A and B are shown apart, each in its own frame.
Chain A
């Protein structure tokens, strides 16, 4: 049984297609992050799961029960919003128990839930305050508390940390992670922040233009991006994508860039389809953190590139190199001294490289 299942879901606003044939499944207790740039449809998808938006095509199942036409309150979900959406006229207590009161829960049960949750989230001292008298972090806690008291099957989070300042955001992120570890409730979490997605999710679904680009574990998303969009979207700075051609040379496969003598041997690469590789136009993808200034692994490939630019950011520096007139970025500790304008010996960790078809932009 899947806690949440979405089948062939499409949604359009007028003539704009927002979601196109979305398929998605979440197992009990998992933490799914919907990640994507703004306008990719991730919030719409979350609203549809919550029942706040109608569906044009497809179905949503919660515990194998089709809830496509079920009211939000009857879906056994709870949602935390970016703007917290605490009811301004009610104090913290009233905010937290509003849903239970609507559901005609008994007074004793309400009191019990309120005490449990407010202690757990450390807002039990704030119960009589109005939302306007709370700090950002406290409001966020109350908003989570309002979701918790309902004991839902699924938690929905809509960019809950975006309104907080950087320091508080990191703190609250850890708290949400802890919360999930303790409660083990299924979570769907929308964000545009890849660090949040990576650190929180057991699964990440990357979305763009209303389509799920890849739905995988954070490790797979990072190491084996399924297309150039995912490769480019995840990581900072993002993966280097060098355009070139694959050449077969007496049984060995080489990656070359036309008009240059730089060649990278492709060995032990896990191709999806080994046919027709000769003369295929591809992107060679390697992350800045997989380019080294000295040989760490026996298999590291040595190459000479000209250093063009250095960006110092404290604990590390981001170097820009020239690879046959294409930029290649690398991340080094800031203690390493590299002369600009000169050829530098670099080592590519080829076990971490990715190859994408230049036409379809899909991983090959």
Chain B
């Protein structure tokens, strides 16, 4: 008698907790969807606006669906309308940015890896001071170094060129990349280096054969960081370059702000998306490798 009473009350409790859980779960989904849409909303507006004609933009609302896949504004943003002077479009500047970002990311990552390697595995007297001063580079506001840097580029004869921008971005990337690699390599046991030295490997061999092959996760992190920083940079680009040597962010600014006639929102939106696509691609591609690198990473022998 008592047993059956007990079991029925347990059933009630079970039922109740089931309902509570269900409610909480749906509440959670609701909140998540709310936040997700809050973040996705601007992208939605950009994409639909870029696919509308100017007519539709003037008559419809911000949220209204485009009448069709009208990709003309994308073509204009990328390749221009084909008049001679005064026609700004992204294609040449996009390639400028690529030419700037690839070597700058490569050199800053490589030098950061080397520096991190030396600061952790070939300790020398005063190395912590070197590291400290390098860290200052992470905190200096870049506006403060614009003038000296402009002078330096002038003396080197590479102002207003892609090479000049590569140099600037490499130099100011090194503090961050060094920080990343140093913090990664500090967890790699020093015995690895000792063992390699006994095996007869030298400074560079240990770096390339032992440390670099296990650095995939931190290389990916650094590349994502550097790529985003350099690709999205506007300050250095607008200060140290103009006209044909400008990177895409500067060109985007010129395009959007300097239109002489009517504001072409659809072309502006398409341009903005084009300027943002490479960083998105890097996140999507490298993000996957990043997680893979983290899970398979067995740094400790």
Contacts and interface: CB of A to CB of B under 8 A. Distances in A.
Interface string B280-301: 0000000000000000001111
B189 A77 contact: no
A249 to B, nearest CB: 60
B43 interface: no
B274 interface: no
Interface stretch (B17-25, B176-184, B197-205): B197-205
A152 B214 CA distance: 29
Contact of B298 (A50, A98, A131, A158): A131
Given A85-B191, A89-B214, A132 B198 contact: no
A85 B301 contact: yes
Contacts of B301: 83-88, 131-132, 139
Given A87-B210, A88-B301, A72 B191 contact: no
A78 interface: yes
B235 interface: no
Contacts of A132: 298, 301
Given A88-B301, A89-B214, A102-B205, A83 B199 contact: no
B298 A130 contact: yes
Given A85-B192, A85-B301, A88-B301, A77 B210 contact: no
Contacts of B298: 88, 130-132
A86 B300 CA distance: 9
A15 B262 CA distance: 75
Contact of B300 (A47, A83, A89): A83
A177 interface: no
Interface in A81-107: 81-90, 98-99, 102-103
Contacts of B214: 88-89
Given A85-B301, A87-B192, A99 B213 contact: no
Contacts of A86: 301
B33 interface: no
A81 B200 contact: no
A141 to B, nearest CB: 13
Interface string B45-78: 0000000000000000000000000000000000
Contacts of A119: none
Contact of B194 (A50, A89, A102, A139): A50
Contacts of A70: none
A69 interface: no
Contact of A102 (B189, B191, B199, B299): B199
B213 A89 contact: yes
A52 B197 contact: yes
Interface residues of B, number: 20
B196 interface: yes
Nearest to B198: A72
B195 interface: yes
A147 to B, nearest CB: 9
B213 to A, nearest CB: 3
Contacts of A52: 194, 197-198
A2 interface: no
Which interface residue of A78, A131, A132, A158 has the most chain B CB atoms within 10 A?
A132
B213 A81 contact: no
Contacts of A85: 189, 191-192, 194-195, 301
A279 to B, nearest CB: 54
A81 B195 contact: yes
A146 B197 CA distance: 13
A73 interface: yes
Nearest to A132: B298
Contact of B196 (A50, A82, A87, A139): A87
A79 interface: yes
Contacts of B201: 98, 102
Contacts of B196: 87, 98
Contacts of B213: 88-90
Nearest to A47: B194
A323 B298 CA distance: 56
A89 B210 contact: yes
Contact of B198 (A79, A87, A88, A131): A79
Interface in B189-241: 189, 191-192, 194-201, 205, 209-210, 213-214
A161 B231 CA distance: 51
A90 B213 CA distance: 9
A85 to B, nearest CB: 4
Question: Which 6 A-B pairs rank lowest in CB-CB distance, beginning with the nearest?
Answer: A132-B298, A89-B213, A102-B200, A99-B199, A73-B200, A85-B191
15 contacts: A50-B198, A51-B198, A52-B197, A72-B194, A83-B301, A85-B192, A85-B301, A87-B301, A88-B298, A88-B299, A89-B210, A98-B209, A102-B201, A131-B301, A158-B191
Given A50-B198, A102-B200, 7 more contacts: A85-B195, A88-B192, A88-B299, A90-B213, A99-B200, A131-B298, A150-B199
